[in-house]
Structure 1
Amino acid sequence: MKHLCTIIFNDRDEIFWYSCQYFSFQLYTMKVSDAELSLVLRPAVQQLSSIFAKHQHELRVAGGAVRDLLSGLVPHDLDFATTATPDEMKKMFEEEGVRMINETGEKHGTITARIDDENFECTTLRIDIKTDGRHAVVRFTKDWYLDANRRDLTINSMFMGMDGTVYDYFDGKRHLDEHRVEFVGDPDTRIQEDYLRILRYFRFYGRIAKSPDDHSESVLESITRNAGGLSRISGERIWTELQKIVTGNYGGELLQKMVDCKLGPYIGLPDDFSGLACKSLFDRCSSCGVDTRELSPMTVIAAGFSNADDAFNFIARVKCSKKERELLIFILDNRDAVIAAKDVKIVQDLLADLVIDLKVYDKLARQRVEELLKYSCQMKMLEEFRDWVLPVFPVSGGALVAKLDDKRKTRLVTKELFEIWKKSNFTYSEEELLSRVDEIQATVQVVSKGKKK
């Protein structure tokens, strides 16, 4: 099909003839069934569609929702593409009394309409005029092919009209049926427009592919060539994608493939990071009855690290939350001992350390210990631990201070009493513990800076 492309500039009425050339492509169309269409056309969507039709602007469902629908899944998040410009949409929604929210997306062509307590992102068709490897300067167009051509993967470049017609410019439906993940056009070009697409490739591979290692060699070569571009991507965005990769299908194998493609240095993974160890964790957990879908992404990632030092570098790169980084270090510090443990006492002590000594909130501390037990496949121990209630440390501050000859010894003596209490299997009373204060403080000496000698 011969195709003449136009771009409409947002700041003036001038029409620019994009590259002044014709494009050749094969547009594939099909219609989804009425039952499938009904999964999208709920009342609020019908209202949105009628508004665009009334004002003579075309509106189509875009990207992931079309992919999911054609995969037999129920689309949850609907994104829309339209020939209307942001100014035209704002005028239209104002006339129709539709509330608009989140105006920050307007410079990229997105207006968010709120109908029946649902938010619908409607984005003007656009092309990327200039990119820096993450962000793009865009110009608006009324050409559906050009908008599809700027998207990352063929399976994400399809549109669906409100009548159920699917518009497929780059064989997305065929690739979906073949469980293939391919970039739109030249992989190098697509990746260099936004290097985050490297990680999106692996994420969607886990969702679409039917085997762990059926990649296109040319795609992997392109990813390897462009690996350094990931250094431009923020740690937060990298971690968002990594979490989805490791908890999806073939999480361990895909992590290993990413290391093989030399992505490690740019996403915080050491050279010796083992994705295959992450796969072994999945296999081990499945065999002992752990629901791997419930594993924290950080628990899975922990399996690939050989030591905590490398994990600190990873934490610094991905800028994960405090809760996530503390879970990672906790697992790495304690996994060997818990894997080898024969008695639940080891994790009871760990919980006591977290809650009483380190002042970690009880629920969070328990979650951390349970992740460690799942990682270690200590299922019997996990059951015992879940039934166990941590006793209250019996020594009150006032009673302890009354027994001390120097208040500066409080912290050090408390620590010793706490260890004695744990060794008693949490059974010693306050009286029994306080009876040990004199012998403990006799061995403790403080100096002016409060340090133990």
Structure 2
Amino acid sequence: MWGRILLCPAIGVRVLSRRHLFTMQLKTKDFQSLFTDGLNGIAGLFEKNQFELRIAGGAVRDLLSGKRPEDVDFATTATPEEMKKMFQAAGIRMINNKGETHGTITARLHNENFEVTTLRVDVQTDGRHADVEFTTDWQVDAERRDLTINSMFLGLDGTLYDYFSGYKDLQNRKVRFVGSASLRIQEDYLRILRYFRFYGRVASEPGEHDPETLEAIRDNARGLASISGERIWVELKKMMTGNHAAHLVELIYELELAQYMGLPPEGNVEEMKRVWHCAQSLSPKPMTFLSALLRSMDDVDKLDLRLRISKEEKTLGLFLVKHRRDLVKGQDDDNRLRPYTDLIIDSREVDIQNKICELLKYQGEEKLLAEMTSWSIPRFPVSGHDLRKMGITSGKEIGTTLQGLRDTWKKSRYQMDKEELLSTLN
């Protein structure tokens, strides 16, 4: 049976949808574990008022993948006003209803939050935001979602509702847009990066993309320029902690997306691939991996200007770019950790030991990383007060003497105590 023809005014594209509903029953332990007192209370309320309530989006994908979802979102045929009246009548508290204009009401019951969104259709989009209308048609809501694996619903009786072969794609580890890739991307250009992120989660091998999808991404690359840096950075970080991250970043450059995302136009892709190969098993931070693309500290500043990375992320990027080459060679096996420990002792940087650990991940130094993780920063045993007691009163002389003693202490591998160090001054 053919569905209705929809018009998206901002894009001017007509979408002819065909109903092809696939259903099955899901009765896993992860699914059953969701039914807390809070959910049972919410579900009973919707049933009593004759509104449908289903689990939506990513939680369905996770359950079908054998995972217990961390967050569960719900969709319903009830409008926001109907939900508010229903919750108020039942004495259920509602919180943070900033999403009400897009149909989302958050209810709190038994110390749990339940985010419930009215079925909707995007009637007008500008590539970043959408004006919506509410509907009671589950397929119409599924049509506006980005990827087939994110467009499924799960009834509270365990019935899967799949209109666009999302379950089959999940089984085959395929990532596809719902309907036209270009249309879905033009509704929100951030979906380009969501495609990459979910490819890293779902696909078993790099490089198994549909050519038409990549062409649609290339054709719409410029749209990323209109997306805020904060949103881009959120997706990039998630992408870089998934599978195939090096392949996906390389693809970003091949499809000419980097220039619109704040990444350096001449990013060091080969260095990035090397670092990924060496570091992926060590769980590096996203900034550690991304730093491999950056050729200079100026690139870190430009990245921050576009993506609005945190202060901690920026200082880590600057640290890695500065030190990734100067602490690698020149030490025998017994002293390979020494340049890193010396840098910690000499540095005034905040969180220096964690930065060193990220540097060791960058360099693929698994053994040194284990040693550094268990190493405790020793305390320099001499103070200016100790020198004043010995009759040294000049501030300049105290500073020079302390530095000399610190150098002696470092050469002893931090073993000399206060008395031994002070004895060297006699």
Q: TM-score, normalised by structure 1?
A: 0.82
1:371 to 358, 361, 364: 358
- Asked if residue 203 in structure 1 is aligned to residue 197 in structure 2, the reply is yes
Q: Whole-Å Cα distance in 2 between the matches of residues 22 and 227 of structure 1?
A: 22
Q: Whole-Å Cα distance in 1 between the matches of residues 35 and 5 of structure 2?
A: 30
Aligned to 1:125: 119
Aligned to 1:30: 23
**CA drift at 1:64:** 0.8
1:227-306 equivalent positions in 2, closer than 5 A = 227-285=221-279, 291-292=281-282, 294-306=283-295
- The one-letter amino acid of 1:322's match is K
Aligned to 1:424: 411
- Deviation per residue, 1:221-240 (Å, 9 max, x gap): 11112112112222221111
Which is further off, 251-260 or 386-395?
386-395
Q: Whole-Å Cα distance in 2 between the matches of residues 158 and 58 of structure 1?
A: 15
The 8 Å contact of residues 2 and 22 in structure 1, kept in 2 or not, is answered as no
Equivalenced residue count is: 411
The 8 Å contact of residues 232 and 307 in structure 2, kept in 1 or not, is answered as yes
**CA drift at 1:143:** 1.7
- Deviation per residue, 1:151-181 (Å, 9 max, x gap): 1111111112222222222221222222211
- Secondary structure, in 3 states, of the residue corresponding to 2:131? strand
Q: Whole-Å Cα distance in 1 between the matches of residues 401 and 189 of structure 2?
A: 53
Aligned to 1:314: 303
- Deviation per residue, 1:311-368 (Å, 9 max, x gap): 32112222121211111221221121233252221011111133xx34x2xxx32211
- Secondary structure, in 3 states, of the residue corresponding to 1:338? coil
- The one-letter amino acid of 1:141's match is T
Which is further off, 389-398 or 245-254?
389-398
- Asked if residue 216 in structure 1 is aligned to residue 210 in structure 2, the reply is yes
1:60 to 42, 48, 54: 54
Q: Which runs of 5+ in 2 are unaligned?
A: none
- The one-letter amino acid of 2:122's match is D
The 8 Å contact of residues 177 and 184 in structure 2, kept in 1 or not, is answered as yes
Distance change >3 Å, CA 172–CA 180, structure 1 → 2: same
**CA drift at 1:279:** 3.5
Aligned to 2:63: 69
- Secondary structure, in 3 states, of the residue corresponding to 2:324? helix
- Asked if residue 348 in structure 1 is aligned to residue 358 in structure 2, the reply is no
**CA drift at 1:268:** 1.7
Q: Whole-Å Cα distance in 2 between the matches of residues 247 and 111 of structure 1?
A: 31
The 8 Å contact of residues 238 and 318 in structure 1, kept in 2 or not, is answered as yes
Which is further off, 215-224 or 264-273?
264-273
- The one-letter amino acid of 2:407's match is I
**CA drift at 1:276:** 4.7
- The one-letter amino acid of 1:3's match is G
- Asked if residue 154 in structure 1 is aligned to residue 141 in structure 2, the reply is no
The 8 Å contact of residues 5 and 143 in structure 1, kept in 2 or not, is answered as no
- The one-letter amino acid of 1:212's match is P
Aligned to 2:323: 334
**CA drift at 1:43:** 3.8
Q: Whole-Å Cα distance in 1 between the matches of residues 310 and 87 of structure 2?
A: 39
**CA drift at 1:205:** 0.5
- Secondary structure, in 3 states, of the residue corresponding to 2:265? coil
Q: Whole-Å Cα distance in 2 between the matches of residues 124 and 23 of structure 1?
A: 23
Distance change >3 Å, CA 434–CA 324, structure 1 → 2: farther
Alpha-carbon RMSD:
2.9
Aligned to 1:12: none
Q: Whole-Å Cα distance in 1 between the matches of residues 232 and 84 of structure 2?
A: 34
Q: Which runs of 5+ in 1 are unaligned?
A: 8-18, 437-453
Q: TM-score, normalised by structure 2?
A: 0.87
Distance change >3 Å, CA 309–CA 400, structure 1 → 2: farther
Distance change >3 Å, CA 422–CA 330, structure 1 → 2: farther
Q: Whole-Å Cα distance in 2 between the matches of residues 430 and 201 of structure 1?
A: 63
Aligned to 1:389: 376
- Deviation per residue, 1:394-436 (Å, 9 max, x gap): 453456688465x5x5897489558635653444859957988
The 8 Å contact of residues 197 and 238 in structure 2, kept in 1 or not, is answered as yes
Q: Whole-Å Cα distance in 2 between the matches of residues 411 and 166 of structure 1?
A: 75
Distance change >3 Å, CA 246–CA 102, structure 1 → 2: same
Aligned to 2:174: 180
Q: Whole-Å Cα distance in 2 between the matches of residues 332 and 105 of structure 1?
A: 41
- The one-letter amino acid of 1:28's match is L
